[in-house]
Amino acid sequence: MTNDSRLRMLTGLQPSGDLHIGNYFGALAPFLTMAKEHETFLMVADYHALTSVKDGNLLRQNIYNIVRDYLAVGVDPNEVTLFRQSDNSDHMELGWVLNCMVTVPFLMQGHSYKDKVAKGLEANAGLFTYPMLMAADIVLYNTDVVPVGEDQRQHLEYTREAVTKFNNNYGDILKEPKEAIMKSVGVVPGTDGQKMSKSYKNTIPLFGSREDIQKAVMSIVTDSAGDRPQNVYDIHTLFKSESELNTLYENNAGKYKNLKEALVEDIDQFISPMRELRDSISDQDVINVLQVGAKKARAVSHETLERVRDVIGINL
């Protein structure tokens, strides 16, 4: 047990590619705000990433990258328990137990699974049981609140369902978590107008060079009729107030190229301090932070898992 009286929050991101601004506004920024008021756990969901990343060198690199990303956006490892899912085998173990609580038809209704398969991703069994590993990630730490983007809402419902089934059978052992969804941001659109997602290749990279940002912004689809390129405007609202934008867009009515250049400038200004900090973080810094985090994480999750092992009849 820790002595912290604040509510506990936990969230995770998969190290399955470069972060984009949808991840930042949908997950990282709300997380940083909430971290000030909560006892916080931040997890690198590297085993979840195995559902889509099948190249060892790439996964390893992605793990280094995401920890750097977290540190660069302002996560303080002295305040936050920053750790890797794979450094704590309790996740795998509880994930299995929770898989045994839910049915195949229930998992088949998962939006995330259905969407990913519809988009052509391989329907591997890990992708299918993904929600129960995520449920384990959450409940191992007796988490009160999980800050996520709108697309993860159903995963929290699935977590509660698994917890309910477990507790109905074994007694009140696992804590039911709640999601915290940043309503003000909702879903950040990508360069093609649909949800920004690395799977759809429509992203604006969070730590891209100015050239990378330029390339992504110039590719924003602007087929809307009228003076205002709506897809550009929608992304721009993340970086500038509505009143500033209205002036800018009125002064540049119909001049899509100017507006895109203004967006590149605003994104670049926003990102450059974080990009510099990120460049200063070494691989060894990452390893050191993860070692400390793993130790803190295991100390908490072992207690939960022991209670689970007791009631399911595994502890003799």
- Which stretches of the chain bind ligand TRP, using CB under 6 A? 10-14, 45, 48, 134, 137-138, 146, 148, 152, 155
In angstroms, the Cα distances linking 93 to 47, 126, 275 are 13, 14, 37
Pairing of strands 8-13, 39-44: parallel
Tell me the closest approach of the beta carbon of residue 173 to ligand TRP, in angstroms. 19
Angle at which helices 90-99 and 125-139 pack, to 10 degrees?
110
Plot region of 251 (φ>0 → left; ψ -120 to 50 → alpha; else → beta): alpha
Of 99, 199, 219, 224, the one binding ligand ADP by CB under 6 A? 199
Instruction: Please give the angle made by the CA atoms of 38, 39 and 44, to the nearest 5 degrees.
Output: 105
Q: Which does 12 bind (CB under 5 to 8 A by kind): ligand TRP, ligand ADP, none?
A: ligand TRP
Would you name the residues annotated as active-site residues? 116, 195, 198
Distance of CA 182 to the CA centre of its chain: 13
Considering only residues 117 to 176 of the shown chain, the ones binding ligand ADP according to CB under 6 A are 148-149, 151-152
Considering only residues 175 to 194 of the shown chain, the ones binding ligand ADP according to CB under 6 A are 187-188
Measured between alpha carbons, how far is 205 from 258 in angstroms, rounded to an integer?
A: 21
**Cα torsion 18, 22, 24, 30: sign:** negative
Q: Which does 293 bind (CB under 5 to 8 A by kind): ligand ADP, ligand TRP, none?
A: none
Binding mask 204-243 for ligand ADP (x = CB under 6 A): ----------------------------------------
**Cα torsion 239, 241, 247, 249: sign:** positive
Q: Which does 198 bind (CB under 5 to 8 A by kind): ligand TRP, ligand ADP, none?
A: ligand ADP
Closest-approach residue to ligand ADP (CB):
26
Catalog residues that contact ligand ADP under the rule CB under 6 A.
13-14, 22-23, 26-27, 148-149, 151-152, 187-188, 195-199
